[in-house]
Amino acid sequence: MREAQYWEPGEAGRVHCLLCPNDCRIAEGKAGTCGVRMNRGGRLELPRYGAISSIAVDPIEKKPLYHFHPGSRILSVGFVGCSFRCGFCQNWHISQSIDVETRSISPEELVSTAVRERSFAIAYTYSEPLVHFEYVLDSSRLARKAGLKNVLVTNGYLNPQPADELLPFVDAANVDLKAWDPEFYRHETGGKLEEVKRFIAEAAGRIHLEVTTLVIPTKNDDPAQIEGIARFIAGLDPGIPLHLSAYHPQHKYTLPPTPPGTVHRLAEVARKHLKHVYVGNLGAESSDTVCGECGNVLVRRVGWHVEVTGIKAGKCAKCGAKSPIVGA
Ligand code: SF4
């Protein structure tokens, strides 16, 4: 049985998991909040190391990553479990339950699958990858050796020390910033806003970063929420892309879907602070990337159809300004 990293013995046979800010103190035979890290005989163990719930080759725009190798396809793997408890989770069947069908795939097999599929990178996605820290780290190291890149799609809930260990092997991430209200985080996700902000700030200077906010009617669709998020991101780098996605009823939430007009209005609020704001989950509409200097279309997107139209040698083909896109 694989032992976990980042834990210490606790009182009365408990183990104290130090991986994420949930700070679980886990009794013998039990798992932490994420459901995947277990106290067995006073050690923190990983009975679901390498248990993969989903594997597929996706357009990278589905992650979503719009400024990182646009138009490419990426081998994507998902796990089970999550450090959050979001009632609106769009992947709740694998994140909020660990009793789902999985298949065992070792890091070596994962990397050789990526090579065979001619994927330039591996995305750790679908459910929360960071609670499978050791598997993601092992796979990322091997992937790097094989010349592949690594992408995280995550809630950004990781303590500073493990983040320092993992980020050198990560090339790009899309991190959820679910709201600007600490009470929303506490009540709706079980997490702490400040911890997510800390991870985002740490990742911003080190890897290619994009941020996603799922806009939920009456919950986080107040313009002040989006204004707070956009100001925070702009304080790190106004070139970081923000994706505002429309919510659809899932899991415990029965609120009606977010009206497209709401998402578009909030995007205009965010554009006061950020250069690149995209709307998502609204059907096959265009989310082009335009040059911040002259408005030339750099990347044209309609649904999953992607065309790099206006970039030459890393610059806007029209005005010569530096392109914000990595890998095109
Ligand atoms: S990784 Fe899991 S067990 Fe560890 S503190 Fe976070 S939720 Fe708890």
Does residue 19 line the site of ligand 1, with CB under 6 A? yes
CATH top class, domain 51-283 = alpha beta
CA dihedral 47, 49, 53, 58 (to 10 degrees): 170
Q: Tell me the pLDDT of the chain averaged across its residues.
A: 96
Does residue 73 line the site of ligand 1, with CB under 6 A? no
**β-pair partners for 176:** 212
What are the tokens at 174?
Answer: 């899309």
State the distance from the centre of ligand 1 to the C-alpha of 127, rounded, in angstroms.
14
- Whether the ω angle into residue 238 lies within 30 degrees of 0, i.e. cis, is no
Task: Give pLDDT tens digits for 220-267.
Answer: 999 999 999 999 999 999 999 999 999 999 888 899 999 999 999 999
Q: How confident is the model at residue 98 (pLDDT cuts 50, 70, 90)?
A: confident
Task: Give pLDDT tens digits for 27-46.
Answer: 999 999 999 999 999 999 99
| Segment 293-309 mean pLDDT | 93
Nearest-10 crossing angle of helices 133-145, 107-116 = 50
Q: Which residue of 83, 95, 196 sits with most ligand 1 atoms within 8 Å of its CB, as the best mutation to test the pocket? A: 83
Closest residue by Cα to atom 4, ligand 1, is 17
- Structural contact between residues 44 and 15, judged by C-beta atoms closer than 8 angstroms: yes
Task: Give pLDDT tens digits for 151-185.
Answer: 999 999 999 999 999 999 999 999 999 999 999 99
pTM: 0.96
Identity (one letter) of the amino acid at 21?
P
Does residue 155 line the site of ligand 1, with CB under 6 A? no
Does residue 151 line the site of ligand 1, with CB under 6 A? no
Cα end-to-end span (Å), the chain: 43
Domain locations in the chain as residue ranges:
7-45, 51-283, 286-328
Q: How confident is the model at residue 99 (pLDDT cuts 50, 70, 90)?
A: confident
State the distance from the centre of ligand 1 to the C-alpha of 50, rounded, in angstroms.
17
Does residue 81 line the site of ligand 1, with CB under 6 A? no
Closest residue by Cα to atom 3, ligand 1, is 32
| pLDDT of amino acid 284 | 61
> How far is Cα 203 from Cα 200, in angstroms, rounded to an integer?
5
Closest ligand 1 atom number to CA of residue 36 = 2
State the distance from the centre of ligand 1 to the C-alpha of 17, rounded, in angstroms.
6
